[in-house]
Amino acid sequence: MAGVTEFNSNSNSGTLIAKIRKRDGRIVNFEQSKISNAIYKALVATGKPDYPLAERLAAKVVQKMVQGEKSVIPSVEDVQDMVESILIEEGLSETAKAYILYRHERRKLRDEKMKILNKRDLDEVDKAFDINSLRVLAARYLLRDSNNEIIEGPKQMFERVATLVAIADVLHDPAVFNLAGGHTQSIEEAERYYAKLDDFDNKLHIGDYYLNKYHFEAMIRHYIHCAQQGQMKVSFKELLRMIAENKMAQYEEQIKTYYNLMVSRDFLPNTPTLMNAGARLGQLSACFVLDMPDDMAGIMKSSTDAAMIFKSGGGVGINYSDLRPEGDIVASTSGVASGPTSFMRIIDTITDVVKQGGKRRGANMGILEAWHPDIEKFVTAKTKPGVFENFNVSVGIWEDFWQALVNKEGNHKYTLRSPRSREPVRQIDAQQLIDLIALSAWRSAEPGVIFFDNINKYNPLINARHGPLRATNPCGEQSLYPYESCNLGSINLANFVKRKADGAYEFDWQRYEQAIRLATRFLDNIIDMNKYPVEEIKVATKETRRIGLGIMGIADLLFLLKIPYNSKDGYEFMNKLAEAVSYLSMDESVAIARARGPFPMFKDSDYVKGRIPVAGYYELPKETHTYDWDTLVEKIKKYGIRNSWTSTIAPTGTLSMIADTANGVEPVFALVYEKRVTVGRFFYTDKVFESMLKENGLYNDEILTKIANNYGSVRGLPEIPEWMQRIFVTAIDIHWTDHVMAQAVWQKWISNAIAKTINMPGDVTAEDVKCAYLLSHELGLKGVTVFRDGSRHEQVLHITGKNTGEKAFAVKPSRYIADYVSTNIKEPYVLEQMQKIFKESGVEEEKPVPKEIPLQEIPAAPKKPAPQPAVPQMAMMDADEDRCPTCNARLIITEGCNVCIECGFSGCGSG
């Protein structure tokens, strides 16, 4: 129930109540609708969902108060006392009891929030965020003093981030910035201000927002960069004078815009930005890739750079394929090379001892390409527990391996080559290698597979000096060149719904476009405001200006819209959402380029030839496109584009907890799961699902227990109506082929890649894993991570219980994916393997969700629960399992990363 805190009476009772006194003493407008909402939620809690009754009761509350102390501004407590009195007078004793209990719980909640935030009072942002979000923010994001005491609240955190982002807009104001260049300013004058940071701490302001010394430092840094390009029309002193004289005060509104974008949780930037913007470290990027050359000086340089990145809050991806294989002769010493995995141990050790930003361990991606002579050793490197625990590992596959794999003549020979000379070393069977990769992933969830041929298919920089992309960030969704970094952020799709007159939800496409455009500018500004941990990273990042705008909350959005995830409607809707992200972000990037210039390597890129890194533009029929891509391509050729790539779907484990929504593009892991603690037990329930249960009179502990024991799913439960079973699907309800299909739908339009886990039940075979690779490649995925339940020795969250026996429901591929494969897969070998999968498992025919939900179909909740199987092992793991380094709770695998469902820790660096 919403707290009765601010009211603005619409009462017709004569004298109006205009104001109310809040708990902190502030006087604010009185809103009668808040009383109606609170009463309605009490009615819902007691099985009487009657909003007109709630409005009548609220009117009586106002009438009674008007008749009472007319000259006194009532307090929140006065109003709540009157609500209790009216409920009792109306004979609604159970509702009154629920309301009283709610008041008590709200009081406890306020006290807990103040304790978490180390505050005596709560502001509007503290109140808007739930307790779990605040715990995450307090544990990892809010600034602390030397005694480790929290010294800012969420509001102040978002203000420092928004202020930093807006400084980039100030420095590109036409009064001080000229894209054409030709201006000469004193760099030395600006540099002298680095020694005066403390003197300027909170001295200058833009409207009501003061610049702390780290904001000031970032302003100096970017001013110098622009001045070196000859683009600053004024000296640094003149810029300071203009700010001091409030000539830049108009940017206060821009700060508010960025602030509201985050506080509303419509969009959140990656974790390092929230942690470090306007703070000492100042490092705002999530993703980095380092080179690993075959010489000791280069290896040590990369190792040192990795340590600096971990210290600043980032994760690292490294391709080890240029290192000579184990046993190879080292000419300079006549010694023997120890091989790529030995040098991975160096990075693994560094990761153990250097915490990211002092708050979490780093994350790594280790890559070896399929042609490397040590590939078999690499594939099996993580099958033993405790090896390379700070690494995700992936095999890099190119077109030549793929051709050997699917060879029609049955000749699957594949040549392994020397990293130094590229001369042949020996031949292996490509089928045997893919079988080994699949078996290893079946056993241990590693390695993943990266399809470098798909990554580079539409790479606009492949013909520039960098050549093909050969490495990714730790979770594989972000391909990067050596020393390049990326700034990521995610739009919360579940926020972009509006209610129609009939009470149903629809998607707000206009607000979605506004958020995409604003978030694109936000992320582009981050590149300018960033304090890079290594000089080479600054240079490489500004050359390409790559950003990664993505999404989270797709599962909750589909729940609200009553669209099944793995359905024709679901896939078509996700296709439309994905196209919008890339088109609108690229269109906005062109607009930014017109004012600030394209990314520096634009003139050397294939963009000038009209090529763009978006597969859907080429591979999906133009008549199915929502947007006019041809016109956009012409605009890019004419004006350039600010960012070489604009869209990425990153892991959002922590950000999703802050935003109180579902992770990335993943379906929910479980609708309900039980947590047992020393004081008892309680359920985690998806918020949209919980609301639906309550609206339909199905919410009770017996139902929650039964769902928790059914793998967190409602499939096959007679108490849950069929339409609800169709809508509220979980990861385990969806066949692995549909997981691949969902990722492929997004990948058609996303210019970078996607972090997603292809979930598989424990009873799949290694052949299923292999087929997942085959299907993924043919559908255009850039990489794939497979997770079979039970595949990790130290798995921390199991879907199955110890005594659950056989599943109560069967999971089959959807008719959509079966038809799509038959129509679109042209490679005979892959098509043959997939047809076997469909024949063995069967295909689930799609049952449409009724437009009008028939409430009469909902059966009454059982009075006595049937005997239940044991609680799933997700709450009962052995003591040696992998635990969160922040709060020591259990981790789960999602989006290819270890994620803590307690505090939001993510094993990947993006969020």
User: What is the set of active-site residues?
Assistant: 473, 475, 477
Vertex 58, ends 56 and 61: CA angle to 5°?
115
> Alpha carbon 874 to chain centroid distance?
23
Helix (H) or strand (E) holding 66: helix 51-67
Q: Exposed e or buried b for every residue in 310-346, given b needs 16+ CB within 10 A?
A: bbbbbbbbbbbbbbbbeebeeeeeeeebbbbbebbee
Residue of 77, 372, 351, 406 whose CA lies nearest to 909 = 351
Residue of 467, 468, 486 whose CA lies nearest to 477 = 486
Tally the residues of the chain. 911
In DSSP notation, 793-832 reads: TT----SSBTT--S-SS----BHHHHHHHHHH---HHHHH
Residue of 496, 661, 544, 524 whose CA lies nearest to 585 = 524
What three-state secondary structure class fits 318?
strand
Tell me 643's DSSP state.
-
* Whole-angstrom distance, CA of residue 298 vs CA of residue 303: 9
Query: Is the CB of residue 634 less than 8 Å from the CB of residue 649?
Result: no
* Whole-angstrom distance, CA of residue 655 vs CA of residue 664: 9
* Whole-angstrom distance, CA of residue 145 vs CA of residue 151: 6
Q: Is 290 exposed, middle or buried (0-12, 13-18, 19+ CB in 10 A)?
A: buried
Residue of 219, 767, 769 whose CA lies nearest to 447 = 769
**Token reading at 814:** 């959807």
* Whole-angstrom distance, CA of residue 145 vs CA of residue 818: 57
Query: Is the CB of residue 518 less than 8 Å from the CB of residue 166?
Result: no
Tell me 467's DSSP state.
-
Query: Is the CB of residue 710 less than 8 Å from the CB of residue 725?
Result: no
* Whole-angstrom distance, CA of residue 255 vs CA of residue 158: 10
Helix ranges, 172-212 (H) = 187-191
In DSSP notation, 350-406 reads: HHHHSEETTTEE--EEEEEETTSTTHHHHHTTTSSTTSSTTEEEEEEE-HHHHHHHT
Position 841, amino acid = S
**Token reading at 600:** 């520096």
φ, ψ (nearest 5 deg) of residue 240? -60, -40
* Whole-angstrom distance, CA of residue 790 vs CA of residue 443: 8
CA distances from 446 to 287, 368, 449, 788 (A): 21, 13, 9, 10
Tell me 646's DSSP state.
-
Residue of 249, 220, 193 whose CA lies nearest to 528 = 220
**Token reading at 755:** 């972090």
* Whole-angstrom distance, CA of residue 325 vs CA of residue 335: 13
Cα separation of the two ends of the chain? 30
* Whole-angstrom distance, CA of residue 586 vs CA of residue 649: 15
Contacts of 297 (CB under 8 A, 6+ apart): none
Sign, CA torsion 420/423/427/433? positive
Bridge partners of residue 682, in order along the sequence? 675
Helix axes 568-596, 509-529, angle to 10 degrees: 50
Helix (H) or strand (E) holding 723: helix 722-727
Taking each continuous run of H as one helix and of E as one strand, the counts in the chain are 32, 27
